[in-house]
Amino acid sequence: MIRILLLALLAAACFSQEAEKTADKAPPPPPPPPRRDQARALVVSQQGIVAASNYLASSVGAKILEQGGNAIDAAIAANAITGLTQPFVNGVGGDLFAIVYETKSGRLYGLNASGWSPKAQTIEWLKEKGVEKIDPISVHTITVPGAVGGWAALRERFGTRSLKELLAPAIHYAQQGFPLSVVSARSMPQKKFFEQAGFKDTYLAAGEKPEPGDLFRNPGLARTLRLVAEHGHDGFYRSDYTRGLVAFLRELGGAHSYEDFAEWEPEWVEPVATTYRGWKVYELPPNGQGIAALSMLNIMEHFPMGDYGHNSAAALHAMIESKKLSYADMAKYVGDPKFTAIPTETLISKQLGDQRSKLIDMRKAACQVLPANLSQTLTSAGRETIYLSAIDKEGNIVSLIQSNSAGYGTGLVAPGAGFSFHNRGARFELEPDKPDSLEGRKRPLHTIIPAFMEKDDLKIGFGIMGGWNQPLAHAQFVANLVDFEMNAQEALEAPRFTKMTFEGCDVMLESRIGEAIRFDLARRGHVVTPVSNYNSNMGFGSAVIRDTKRGVNFAATDPRVDGAAIPEEPAYLP
C-alpha cells in the first residue's frame, strides 16, 4: 500500500512539472479590447454624409446627395425637414447662419441670414404704447424671419438643384404626415402657447399628449413651402403671401410693414478666426456671439489643458473662468455692426487673451467679472435651435444653424402659414446707447453660431446649439479634439458643463463627471448643480470632417437628440 502511495505521489509530481512546462509554452492571453469611450459610431465614408439633429432630415439630405446634389443642396433639404419635425426649435419663422467651405476655391464663405426689426419699431414707439419691457412671446419680438432668404442665397451661390427639388421631401412629409420621434413627441405640447393665435390648429395635430409614433401633419407648412419652391425668395418676402403675414402681425399690434420684408436681404460675411495650438478655428462675426468662442480659446491656450486631464477639476475650472471673462466682453461690446462700432479684431486678439488669462486664479472661482476696458488696456482697435452639417464626396462642407430663438418663438402662427414666428427681438434692450439697444431696421445680438476648424489635411464643420451655451460648448469640443486627442464622436459625446448666466459662480455639470471632481470644484468656490447624463441644456451638435490627403469623410452626431449621421450610397454598377 505504501509503495502504491509513493508511486502515486511521484506520478503527481511528474504531472505537475509537465504541466508547468506546458504552461510556459502556452500562448499569452488575448489583449484587452480596444478602449471605447463612445456609444455611437464615427461614420466614415468616401461618399457624402449628412449629420442632422433628426434622422429623417439626415436621410433626406443623404438622398439629395445620391440624386447628384452637393452638400449645400443637402443642407437646405435637411433644414426644411427639421423645421417640420422639430418646430419647437426651428423653422421657416426663424433665422439662419451658415459657413460654407468650397473645395474648388479652398475658401470659406459666411452667410448671415438674420432679420431686422420693423423700421417703425423704436424704443420711443414702444414706450408710447406703454411697453416698458418686451413680452418674450409678443408680436414686438418678431424680426423679419431670415431662414427662407438664407436657403435662397445658399442655393443661388452654391447649389445645383432647384428649390422645387430640395423642398419636395419636406412638402411630402408635411402633407402626408410622419411618425413623431421620441424627442419630437416629448417636445410638441407646450401649454404656454395654447392661447397664441393659430398655435393649437397647427401644432396639436397629433393631440396634446402625443406618443412616439403618432402621426403629425402640417398642411399649412406644405402650402408655404410650395410657394417658396415655386417663387423662391420673392414668394416669401415680396408677394401677396407677404401682405397676409404683415396684416396678421399688424392686427396683433406689430409695427411691421410690407417694405420691412421686401427690402431685407441676407448678407454674405467674412468669417473671423483665431488659432488654438496649431489649429485655426473660425466663427462668424457680429451680430452673433461666435467671437466669444474664439476669445475663450485664446484664454484657455494659456493653461496646460492636456496636462490637467480631460474633465479634471483644473481643466473645468480653467474653462469655466475663461467663459466668464469672454462672455463679459461679448455682452458689453457686441451688437449689430451696422449701428455700433464693434472692436471685433481686438476681442479675438491674442493680446487680449493673454491679459484676460492673468485674471484667473486657479485656486478660486470668480463670482463676478468685469468686461475689459478696451480703450485703456489695448492700443489696437435658448437653447432652442437646430444645428446640422453636411459634406459631399468632393469635400464641400456646410456648417448650418437655424433657430426660433426660444422654443416655438412667439407661438404666433398666421392663418394657414404652418409656422410659428420666432422671438429673436426679445433680446433687444429698451435703454438707449447700448450695443443691443432697440432701433428700427436693426438686428439683435444672436446666439446661434456655426463653426469651422482646420489643420493640415483636416477640415471640420461643426456646431453645438443651445442659446448662450454655444461658445462654451464650441470651446469644449475644440479642447476635446486638440488637448485630449478624441475623435469627433468622442468629443461630442463627452460629458459637458454649461453656465447660462453671465455672473455668479453657478455651473451645471452632467453627472457623468464624477462626484470627486464636483467636490473639488465646489472647494474652489463653484456652485455646482449636477444634471442628467445626456442633458439637453448642454446643447445638441454634429460635425463633419474631410481628410483631404486620403479623400475620406467622417461625421459625428450628438446622443442628446434624435439625430444621425447618414452617408450617401454610391451609384452601384449592375
pLDDT in tens, 527-572: 999 999 998 889 899 999 999 999 999 999 999 988 999 999 998 8
115 within a domain of the structure (yes/no)? yes
Q: Which of the four pLDDT bands, split at 50, 70 and 90, describes residue 33?
A: low
Dihedral sign from CA coordinates of 486, 489, 492, 494? negative
* pLDDT > 60? residue 9: no
Q: What mean pLDDT is predicted for residues 435-460?
A: 95
> Under DSSP, is residue 471 helix (H, G, I), strand (E, B) or coil?
helix
The predicted structure's pLDDT at residue 503: 84
Q: What mean pLDDT is predicted for residues 93-120?
A: 97
Domain boundary among 343, 377, 411: 377
The predicted structure's pLDDT at residue 188: 84
* DSSP secondary structure letter of residue 426: G
* pLDDT > 90? residue 375: no
Identify which has the larger pLDDT, 561 or 517: 517
Q: Which of the four pLDDT bands, split at 50, 70 and 90, describes residue 376?
A: very low
Q: CB under 8 Å to 186, separation ≥6 — which residues? A: none
The predicted structure's pLDDT at residue 15: 43
Give 264-295 pLDDT, tens digit per residue: 999 999 999 999 999 999 999 999 999 999 99
User: Which of 570, 389, 392 is CA-nearest to residue 488?
Assistant: 389
514 within a domain of the structure (yes/no)? no
* pLDDT > 80? residue 14: no
> What's the CATH number where 81 sits?
3.60.20.40
Give 37-74 pLDDT, tens digit per residue: 788 999 999 999 999 999 999 999 999 999 999 999 99
1 within a domain of the structure (yes/no)? no
The predicted structure's pLDDT at residue 191: 85
Does 205 lie in the same domain as 72? yes
Q: What mean pLDDT is predicted for residues 427-431?
A: 90
Domain boundary among 322, 347, 377: 377
> Under DSSP, is residue 295 helix (H, G, I), strand (E, B) or coil?
helix
Does 400 lie in the same domain as 371? no
Helices (H), strands (E): how many in the chain?
20, 19
* pLDDT > 90? residue 202: yes
Q: What mean pLDDT is predicted for residues 167-175?
A: 98
Query: Residue 117 has which C-alpha cell?
Result: 426689426
The predicted structure's pLDDT at residue 571: 83
The predicted structure's pLDDT at residue 372: 78
Report the chain's terminal Cα–Cα distance, integer Å: 82
* pLDDT > 70? residue 84: yes
* pLDDT > 70? residue 196: yes
Domain that holds residue 325: 272-377
The predicted structure's pLDDT at residue 10: 46
SS3 content of the chain, % helix, strand, coil (to 5): 40, 20, 45
> What's the CATH number where 369 sits?
1.10.246.130
The predicted structure's pLDDT at residue 558: 93
Does 323 lie in the same domain as 456? no
166 within a domain of the structure (yes/no)? yes
d(CA 338, CA 198): 34
Does 371 lie in the same domain as 343? yes
What are the distances in angstroms from CA 493 to CA 164, 178, 533, 544? 36, 28, 10, 15
Q: What mean pLDDT is predicted for residues 198-212?
A: 90
Mean pLDDT score of the chain: 91
The predicted structure's pLDDT at residue 1: 47
Burial class, 83, CB count within 10 angstroms (exposed 0-12 / middle 13-18 / buried 19+):
buried
Give 224-241 pLDDT, tens digit per residue: 999 999 999 999 999 999
Does 64 lie in the same domain as 179? yes
* pLDDT > 60? residue 25: no
Does 472 lie in the same domain as 549? yes
322 within a domain of the structure (yes/no)? yes
554 within a domain of the structure (yes/no)? yes
The predicted structure's pLDDT at residue 34: 65
291 within a domain of the structure (yes/no)? yes
* pLDDT > 70? residue 378: no
d(CA 509, CA 443): 33
* pLDDT > 70? residue 477: yes
* pLDDT > 60? residue 214: yes
> Under DSSP, is residue 150 helix (H, G, I), strand (E, B) or coil?
helix
The predicted structure's pLDDT at residue 544: 98
Does 346 lie in the same domain as 466? no
By the 8 A CB rule, do 76 and 89 touch?
no
Per the structure, the count of domains in the chain is: 2
Does 433 lie in the same domain as 542? yes
Does 235 lie in the same domain as 187? yes
Does 558 lie in the same domain as 427? yes
Does 490 lie in the same domain as 363? no
Dihedral sign from CA coordinates of 512, 562, 404, 190? negative
**Element housing 467 (H / E):** none
Helix axes 163-176, 219-237, angle to 10 degrees: 150
The predicted structure's pLDDT at residue 27: 65
Identify which has the larger pLDDT, 16 or 476: 476
Domain boundary among 319, 353, 377: 377
Does 537 lie in the same domain as 434? yes
Q: Which of the four pLDDT bands, split at 50, 70 and 90, describes residue 32?
A: low
> Under DSSP, is residue 357 helix (H, G, I), strand (E, B) or coil?
helix
> Residue-wise over 475-485: b if at least 16 C-beta within 10 A, else e?
bbbbbbbbbbe
186 within a domain of the structure (yes/no)? yes
